[in-house]
Amino acid sequence: MKRMLTGIKPTGKLTLGNYIGAIKPCLDYQDDYEMFIFIANQHAITINIDPKELKQNTKDLITLYLASGLDPNKVTLFLQSDVPAHAQLGWAMTCHAYMGELNRMTQYKDKCAKGETNLTAGLFTYPALMAADILLYDADYVPVGVDQKQHVELTRTLAERFNNRYGEVFRVPDPLISKVGAKIYSLQDPTKKMSKSEDNPKGTINLLDEPSVARKKIMSAVTDSYANLVYDPEKQPGLANLMQILSVITGEAIESIADRFNGKGYGELKKEVGDAVYELLSGLQARYHEIQNSGIVEEILAQGAAKASVIADRKVAKIYRKLGFKLFKK
């Protein structure tokens, strides 16, 4: 069975975009791959975040993943900070990454372009830690959104550089990008990604929003003035965004949705999307509260960290021997 790894930062409230772009693919893959999912809390502190907020975000994130249908018997779920090998290999990867490579990474480059100051060294070097996250587990595939593909490309570059210098150590992973729904856009500005940090709260649906509030956000979503209900992401991005949301939630092909609504009004599509989102959130939140009150999250994380550590520690030991850190055979 091929191995897959993915992580998510607990830096904000999970959105419908996160569900469609990150959580839903994990649910689809967990039966077909050996899945490792980690909560990237070490990546989270590359920005200024209150520890209490980070702690609550992390608990919510894990509980929402489980409430969405993630099966801890099929998936290894753990905190990045509970497996020290991530930081250990992260330093080795940092020492093999070139400044120019890190400087081209989107997150750092975008913040520089906006004129932001006091950017941390951690923000600059975090792609090297991300490479370590992946390479520790010899992952075959990394499911990513379109905007994260460059991080997997850097990971591949670092793996090949390391292998060429020290001998075969790392498996070179491939990115896996979902064709539908990998990137969901703002309901108020469909040219921008739906984000945890969106300025307009009407543009984002949080997974813990009241279902009725989420439905209202769908009904007020920006579309266009063409009065022509077709799937055209370039000319009608708002409409295409709604169709993508409906397609991922219901499993109906976008072509089928477009055919069904051909000749109908935008309001009819919005109503169906709103109803689908309402049902999704209602069920999700009921399971969220059930898991929250069960006390099982701590046990799941402990078991996940124990399993991940066995694999990660073995990999670090091998790398340390290659680097000349191990002085004596054991």
Judge whether 179 is annotated as a binding position: no
Is 109 considered catalytic here? Answer: no
Helical (H) or strand (E) element with 246: helix 237-250
Judge whether 13 is annotated as a binding position: no
Judge whether 222 is annotated as a binding position: no
Is 193 considered catalytic here? Answer: yes
Within 10 angstroms of residue 42's Cβ, the number of other Cβ atoms is 21
* DSSP class per residue in 50-84: -HHHHHHHHHHHHHHHHHTT--TTTEEEEEGGG-T
Judge whether 196 is annotated as a binding position: yes
Judge whether 147 is annotated as a binding position: yes
Judge whether 10 is annotated as a binding position: yes
Do 262 and 229 meet the contact criterion of CB atoms below 8 Å apart? yes
Closest residue by Cα to residue 42 from 153, 108, 133, 151: 133
Is 270 considered catalytic here? Answer: no
Judge whether 257 is annotated as a binding position: no
Active-site position among 111, 149, 192, 318: 111
Active-site position among 196, 202, 307, 318: 196
Judge whether 316 is annotated as a binding position: no
Continuous H helices in 45-196: 51-67, 85-94, 99-103, 106-113, 121-135, 149-166
Judge whether 232 is annotated as a binding position: no
Closest residue by Cα to residue 186 from 147, 234, 221: 221
Judge whether 133 is annotated as a binding position: yes
Closest residue by Cα to residue 137 from 323, 326, 322, 307: 307
CA-CA distance, 146 to 222, in Å (whole number)? 23
Tell me the residue type at 117: T
Sign for the CA dihedral angle at 130, 160, 88, 84 comes to positive
Active-site position among 193, 217, 270, 315: 193
CA-CA distance, 294 to 230, in Å (whole number)? 45
Coil/strand/helix, residue 329: coil
Judge whether 205 is annotated as a binding position: no
Binding residues for ATP: 9-11, 17-18, 145-147, 184, 193-197
Binding residues: 9-11, 17-18, 133, 145-147, 184, 193-197
Active site members: 111, 193, 196
Binding residues for L-tryptophan: 133
